[in-house]
């Protein structure tokens, strides 16, 4: 039998009565309770072609999500992504998450990712369905949550990258922009 010797006592509150009580925990648990990740929301305007884009074509080649990580080389966990489409389109879109600024191919053509570039892909297929859009008049919005995708940024930076593929139908974006609102938790 191993003896457990608590290293520290911490005052906690009973969630029902809100009265304090003591719990004995070791120092590692105390550190885990006090070091929490920082939540952040970052907007990225994906520049997209204004010409008609066929199903299966690259909607947005790789674009930077600048400074999403809390520090250089620290991981970030993508929790949810919301797309805001100001052109009232309701096509299905797949987002591709990457750790490096590598090309997915030519916009408005089929993706053509090299084997070496594919190694930077960490979160393929964040799917936004054609039926999932909420119509708010002219704009449409759609969110995908519960992603929990842990991504290490490009070496020496706080940046990750994102690209998009048009999955369904022929679509045209007069504004040339689709906004991706990315909610994430930064590693401490």
The full length of the chain comes to: 188
Q: What is the pLDDT of residue 151?
A: 95
Residues 42-63, mean pLDDT to the nearest whole number: 94
Q: Is the pLDDT of residue 66 over 60?
A: yes
Q: Is the pLDDT of residue 128 over 50?
A: yes
Q: What is the DSSP letter of 150?
A: E
- What does residue 141 show for φ and ψ, rounded to 5 degrees? -130, 155
Q: What is the pLDDT of residue 56?
A: 95
Q: What is the pLDDT of residue 188?
A: 82
Confidence of residue 174 (pLDDT cuts 50, 70, 90): confident
Contact 142, 134 (CB under 8 A): yes
The answer to whether the Cα torsion of 84, 108, 92, 158 is positive or negative is negative
**Residue ranges of the chain assigned to CATH 2.60.120:** 37-186
What are 82-97's pLDDT values in tens digits? Answer: 999 999 889 999 999 9
CATH class of 37-186: mainly beta
Q: What is the pTM of this model?
A: 0.79
CB atoms within 10 A of CB 111: 18
**Closest Cα to residue 27, out of 12, 53, 9, 14?**
9
């Amino acid at each position: 039998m191993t003896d457990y010797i608590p290293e520290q006592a911490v005052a906690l509150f009973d969630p029902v009565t809100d009265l304090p009580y003591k719990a004995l925990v070791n120092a590692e648990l105390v550190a885990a309770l006090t070091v929490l990740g920082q939540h952040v929301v970052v907007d990225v305007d994906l520049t997209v072609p204004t010409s008609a884009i066929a199903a299966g074509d690259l909607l947005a080649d790789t674009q930077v999500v600048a400074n999403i990580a809390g520090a250089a080389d620290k991981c970030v966990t993508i929790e949810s992504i919301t797309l805001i489409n100001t052109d009232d389109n309701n096509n299905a879109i797949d987002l591709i998450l990457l750790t490096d600024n590598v090309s997915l191919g030519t916009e408005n053509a089929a993706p053509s990712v090299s084997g070496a570039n594919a190694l930077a892909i960490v979160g393929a297929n964040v799917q936004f369905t054609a039926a999932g859009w909420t119509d708010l008049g002219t704009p449409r919005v759609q969110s995908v949550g519960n992603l929990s995708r842990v991504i290490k940024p490009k070496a020496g930076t706080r940046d990750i990258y994102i690209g998009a593929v048009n999955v369904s139908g022929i679509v045209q974006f007069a504004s040339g922009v689709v906004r991706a609102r990315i909610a994430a938790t930064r590693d401490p």
